[in-house]
Structure 1
Amino acid sequence: MNTEGAHLLEHLQTPAMMVSRGLVRFANTAAKALLGAHIVGQDVRIAIRDPRAVAAILSEDGGAARVKGLSTGGSVWEVDCRVVGPQERIVSLYDLSERVSVAKSHADFVANASHELRTPLANVIGYCETLLNPKAGGDEAVRNRFLGTIRHEAQRMQALISDLMSLSRIEAVKHEAPSESVDMVALAHEVAGEFRGGAPVSVRANCTSAVIAGDRGQLSQVLRNLIDNARKYGRPEGLVEVSVEAASTGWVLVTVRDEGEGIPPEHLPRVTERFYRADTSRSRAAGGTGLGLSIVKHIVERHRGRFDIESRQGVGTTASLMLPLRTVD
């Protein structure tokens, strides 16, 4: 390979190498970082240990192939080979990992959403068909019971669609940093005051105000979701405590703690995944959509903060978010 060709390949950020007569004659810095500096002078079948990729590289007309695990176990790469002369090829490697991961996430999301909607919809249709039967529909007790179930399932679908729309709106603006001034102490008192009956909600703070740059509507949604979860899964007579603590480090810590049964440790790493439920039957019975904590996580990330959940079985669960305080000019 001539010096000019090597110079051009070296300036590519994409891993690239020149293969001549089956040997790697040159590899740019990106290719060496990916496959190791030792690949120069090596047989291409050893440098890239994938039969389909090697077949594409050594074929007369070149070609392309997808390879898994070149960089990490779950990575996906496209190996593209172009013939540039007798027995000479330029091989470029393109990282498709993120694209494949996003496509899989979207496919999983659609499948999960469809599944979540299919069950209550099937129940609604089934009960409606039963009520159309004169014998069942004419019995007032049966009719009222079935209509109650239909209403419950319809409300479940309505809640799911609302959360799906909310998640979509959040993702649409996730790269836009919010700029509204929001006092987290005042907001915590306001949202806690919305809850009546059931487990009592208390608010304590180590300051009179803690102002951050935020989206008031989204932050209200975060507190509402967390308090609602704490009341659903805490003890009926247990206290739900909201705490706001401003620190000299420039952050504010907001926690929502319940006195419930807690979450088993094996479920904690996944509770913010879409549609994941630690207790499926209990969550659905309580009206959960499986999207609440995912929405919370996305909103906190948009606010350049951190979200975490700690739980001890038999003691309770604490959801916490750290948000940067607004700097005073």
Structure 2
Amino acid sequence: MSSSLRAERVRLSTRGWSLRTRLIVTQVVLLAVVCAGIGIATEFALQRFLMNQLDEQVVEAGKRSSVIFEFGPPPPPGMAPLPPGLRLPTAPALPLPPHPGHGPRMVIRDDRGPGPAFLNAPGQAILTVGAVVSDGRAQEAGMISSDGSRTEISAAAATELATVPVDQRPRTVDLEGLGRYRVVAFPSHIPGEAVVAGLPTSDVDDTLFWVVVIFCVVAAVALVGAGTAGVVIVRRQLAPLARVSTAAQQVADLELDRGEVRLPTPIVDVDPAAAQTEVGQLGAALNRMLDRIAGALSARHASETRVRQFVADASHELRTPLAAIRGYTELAQRKQAQLPDDVAHAMNRVESETARITRLVEDMLLLARLDTGRPLQRDSVDLTRMVVDAVSDAHVAGPEHRWELDLPDEPVTVTGDEARLQQVLANLLANARTHTPPGTTVTTSLSATEHGEVVLTVVDDGPGIPHWLQPNVFERFARGDTSRSRLGGSTGLGLAIVAAVVRAHGGTIDLQSVEGRTEFRVRLPGDSQLRHSSPPSDA
């Protein structure tokens, strides 16, 4: 799995979210769950309530239809009720004599429309369906249209009404072309005959739908408002924690590995009123920790300063006796023919060891000067010529290696100390020669980027640097193989000098090493970068 894919998964997962984001999302999700629970419960309760009301209306319509079907319309005043099974003949809009104290009474109108006549009875609502079922078949079936007239229903709908159980209990059926209906069946006095009546559920469905819409709109507004309020509240409550995080980030960005470090104390201002809160305790603990760190860094810096001063003084003082030893050794070497063989061999060893100690002293003195920030010379240096000369010298010193060049067509120049930059290149080539077997190919490349940066690389196809040594390879006296390094004349300061000189020139050096390939890449600011970054001089 690539690093970019892993980073994308971490970003999308909740583990990569900030505390503020997780609090706000948790708040909104909980509120959404509560709103959903309330909405579902409200919708269920309202549906039960409206359906019970509709069932009461359906039962009332069924009873009314059954009574009218059985006994016919109400008799005129003064007429005795007819026995069951006998009905008054219906006529179109026949008025009955007025009832004393009331207006005229109407009987059932028979407008010759489809469906049973009781659909025209007073009190029947529009969209009411009715049917007379005999032996499981609908003899008459129809409905009251929206204009109050009787209309025909489809045969499939009539068949659905004929299948309703005659148990006087409302139930829901889907009638073809009409939709959902709550219907009820009442038995007649004639065996096998029943009266079916029903009302649509559209009003209940529409009410429930709009309740859901209104509730969703209100819940959305509530969630947006809660989220906005949560952002403001959480941001205000976590502001002290954000200040602690910012302060810790500022300390993390300081270069604590070298030089004198001054930490601001206290780095976090803790409100005395909030000292006992979690954030207050965290800020106080961070301040105490930084106080201890500042003390330790100050003690370390003082110790390093004393050590570096001692090294500089010792290196400077050792130069005089070493020069004297080398002088007397050279004087004795002039009379080597007069000396016994063992004495001559001993003088040769004294001379070689004196030269090695002299190089060590010079390297330590150079590092001490770089540590103190002593300025380097600033001249225009032709790196192309320097690389050619350094590789030629390396070829003479290590003829058993293969030395290759990769140079641009145009000369590459930088501004810096020519002697120190030459030492950088010589140390890198010497490191490749010393720590790789014969036959290794060492390629030195030089290029200039489009941003004006100069890149110098030294690559070899040797066995590589052990992974455990790579983090410390630029430290002083770092050796991968002590015995081999001593036999090769290495002091363990070559790469440390390279890093110090490159850093003094405002550049960087990187190492990438695996088995079969080791690359040292030096980046130096070119002349164009220095011209753009330097302040304008006074005229």
TM superposition score category, shorter chain reference: 0.5 to 0.7
Q: TM-score, normalised by structure 2?
A: 0.39
Deviation at 1:32, TM superposition (A): 5.3
Out of 167, 170, 182, the residue aligned to residue 381 of structure 2 is 182
**Aligned equivalent of 1:163:** 363
Deviations 1:205-250 (A, max 9, x none): 1342122121111111110111111111122222221100111022
> Using the alignment, how far apart are the partners of 1:184 and 1:260 within structure 2?
25
Q: 1:112 to 1:213 in 2, by over 3 A?
A: closer
Q: Is the 8 A contact 1:180 1:213 kept in 2?
A: yes
> Using the alignment, how far apart are the partners of 1:31 and 1:303 within structure 2?
33
Q: Is the 8 A contact 1:183 1:212 kept in 2?
A: yes
Amino acid at match of 1:70: M
> Using the alignment, how far apart are the partners of 1:112 and 1:316 within structure 2?
36
Q: Is the 8 A contact 1:201 1:241 kept in 2?
A: yes
> Using the alignment, how far apart are the partners of 2:504 and 2:492 within structure 1?
20
Out of 239, 256, 277, the residue aligned to residue 458 of structure 2 is 256
Q: Is the 8 A contact 1:178 1:303 kept in 2?
A: no
Deviation at 1:75, TM superposition (A): 1.4
1:229 and 2:431 correspond: yes
**Aligned equivalent of 1:100:** 299
SS in 2 for 1:287: coil
Mapping of residues 101-180 of structure 1, within 5 Å:
101-106=300-305, 143=343, 146-174=346-374, 176=375, 179-180=378-379
Query: Which of structures 1 and 2 has the bigger CA Rg?
Result: 2
Higher helix share: 2
Q: Is the 8 A contact 1:235 1:259 kept in 2?
A: no
> Using the alignment, how far apart are the partners of 2:308 and 2:345 within structure 1?
33
Q: Is the 8 A contact 2:311 2:368 kept in 1?
A: no
Amino acid at match of 2:294: V
> Using the alignment, how far apart are the partners of 1:226 and 1:254 within structure 2?
11
**Aligned equivalent of 1:11:** none
Q: 1:142 to 1:289 in 2, by over 3 A?
A: same
Deviation at 1:322, TM superposition (A): 0.3
Q: 1:110 to 1:326 in 2, by over 3 A?
A: closer
> Using the alignment, how far apart are the partners of 2:272 and 2:495 within structure 1?
46
Q: Is the 8 A contact 2:441 2:461 kept in 1?
A: yes
Amino acid at match of 1:71: L
Deviations 1:173-220 (A, max 9, x none): 45x475311122222112222231422432211342122121111111
Q: 1:288 to 1:109 in 2, by over 3 A?
A: farther
1:75 and 2:293 correspond: yes
Which ranges of structure 1 fall in alignment gaps of 5 or more residues?
Answer: 1-29, 50-66, 78-95, 115-138
Q: 1:231 to 1:148 in 2, by over 3 A?
A: same
Deviations 1:133-176 (A, max 9, x none): xxxxxx966555544443443222111112112223334445x4
> Using the alignment, how far apart are the partners of 2:404 and 2:392 within structure 1?
9
1:33 and 2:254 correspond: no
Amino acid at match of 1:37: V
> Using the alignment, how far apart are the partners of 1:321 and 1:173 within structure 2?
20
Amino acid at match of 1:101: R
> Using the alignment, how far apart are the partners of 1:257 and 1:150 within structure 2?
36
> Using the alignment, how far apart are the partners of 1:110 and 1:156 within structure 2?
22
RMSD: 3.6
Which ranges of structure 2 fall in alignment gaps of 5 or more residues?
Answer: 1-263, 315-338, 533-539
> Using the alignment, how far apart are the partners of 1:150 and 1:165 within structure 2?
22
Using the TM superposition, name which of 104-113 and 201-210 deviates more. 104-113
Q: Is the 8 A contact 1:238 1:259 kept in 2?
A: yes
Deviation at 1:42, TM superposition (A): 4.2
Percent sequence identity is 27
Greater RCO (Cα-Cα under 8 Å, separation 6 or more): 1
Deviations 1:50-78 (A, max 9, x none): xxxxxxxxxxxxxxxxx9x7228x7133x
> Using the alignment, how far apart are the partners of 2:440 and 2:501 within structure 1?
28
Q: 1:197 to 1:33 in 2, by over 3 A?
A: closer
